[in-house]
Amino acid sequence: MQSYRLTGGLFTGGLLALLLAACQSDRDDVMVVYSAGPRPLIAEVVAAFEAKHDIDIELFAATTGQVMARLEAEKYRPRADVVILASELGAAGLKRQGRLRQYRPRDIDQTPADWHDADGYYHATGAAIVAMAFRSDAPAPPTWEAALTGNWNGRLTMPSPSRSGSAADFLIAFNIDRGDSVWDQWLTARSRAGLEFSAANNQAITSLILDVYDGMLAAADYLIYRQMDRDADLKVHYPTDGSVLVTRPIAILAATPQPDWAERFVDHYFSEAMQQAVADQFLAPARTDIEPAAIRPSSLPETLIRPDIDQALEQQIPILRRFQLEIERAQVVRR
């Protein structure tokens, strides 16, 4: 059918309330899916599902932050049946609130077990690795310490963790992994190494392409590979001391009135064809029998950073606030 309805953006206040009230109608023939990007990926997944099944999908495609905001606005009048996020933290938070439904997808045995919630409330459809990116002719610092402490000669940018979900996930995982001493390194990078912050991923990548900066920290690798596939003169660098694995979970909402359709949709996302669609967007597919895009390495980096999810949930707000106040908004002092 390929008749899904695509919406986007945020509505607030009275307008949102009116829209939600208007949407609370009988929808036996419609399933509601909220999804973070890439938008072409979810559009392909939805179109393929509708072509196989006698049901329409109402799709809200936005950022993880916008999806979470919409779910929160609809907390007491839920509409979504299925949600796909670009952050495990978002899914874990929904699980903690009791808002997700357990389900074991049909082809889940063909994926890494540690990518998914151990209790079966959400499952990773794919992943991005958050590392560094550089112009292809620029030497890359071997470690995070070398990049952050000014022992590498180059100008650095980083997406703002307050505007980029992947940068926020990186920051939380990185600081939990390294401990409190890493804050001195962030301060050094901000003052001595000249680290500057872009509004979001696209702005940081564009600045890198235009030679405004020599390197980019907290770079979501699939976004860099996408630009490289378009002939951008860039390279992805995975430091020897680790890169952050950011999985992209799918989950069924506990309040769904259509659990059978929701389960079919989750199964559909883990099908061979849809996992190939994940790979075609330069993400690491969840299924181990699907080859990644040719431009990606054939295997994941040897050293991956993944924090304990409960610890990350507890520390995410303090870490993000401290970084915003002490690092991102700090005055640059050249030494």
CA distance 99 to 78: 10
Q: Same CATH topology for 5-127+246-285 and 128-244+301-328?
A: yes
If 0-12 CB within 10 Å is exposed, 13-18 middle and 19+ buried, where does residue 322 land? middle
Q: What are the boundaries of each domain within the chain? A: 5-127+246-285, 128-244+301-328
Contact 90, 35 (CB under 8 A): no
Tell me the CA distances in angstroms from 87 to 35, 63, 172, 173, one per residue in order: 11, 10, 12, 12
What pLDDT is stored for residue 282 in this prediction? 98
5-127+246-285 CATH: 3.40.190.10
Helices 201-209 and 221-229, axial angle in degrees (round to 10): 40
CA distance 72 to 66: 10
What pLDDT is stored for residue 27 in this prediction? 61
Q: Which two tokens stand for residue 34?
A: 């909220």
What pLDDT is stored for residue 22 in this prediction? 45
Torsion sign over Cα 296, 225, 154, 330: negative
Contact 82, 55 (CB under 8 A): no
Contact 302, 131 (CB under 8 A): no
Contact 193, 150 (CB under 8 A): yes
What pLDDT is stored for residue 311 in this prediction? 97
Contact 270, 105 (CB under 8 A): yes
Tens-of-pLDDT digits for all 335 residues of the chain? 444 455 554 444 444 444 444 444 456 789 999 999 899 999 999 999 999 998 999 999 999 999 999 999 999 999 999 999 999 999 999 999 999 999 999 999 999 999 999 999 999 999 999 999 999 988 999 999 999 987 888 889 999 998 899 999 999 999 999 999 899 999 999 887 789 999 889 999 999 999 999 999 999 999 999 999 999 999 999 999 999 999 999 999 999 999 999 999 999 999 999 999 999 999 999 999 999 999 999 999 999 999 999 999 999 999 999 999 999 886 444 44
Burial profile 199-225: b = 16 or more Cβ within 10 angstroms, e = fewer = ebbebbbebbbeeebbbbbbbbbbbbb
**Helix, strand, coil in percent for the chain, rounding step 5:** 40, 20, 40
What pLDDT is stored for residue 199 in this prediction? 85
If 0-12 CB within 10 Å is exposed, 13-18 middle and 19+ buried, where does residue 18 land? exposed
Could you tell me which residues are beta bridge partners of residue 57? 31
Instruction: Give the angle subtended at the CA of 22 by the CAs of 18 and 23, to the nearest 5°.
Output: 120
Nearest to 146 by CA among 185, 187, 184, 173: 185
pTM above 0.85, yes or no: yes
How far separated are the first and last CA of the chain, in Å rounded? 62
Class of domain 128-244+301-328: alpha beta
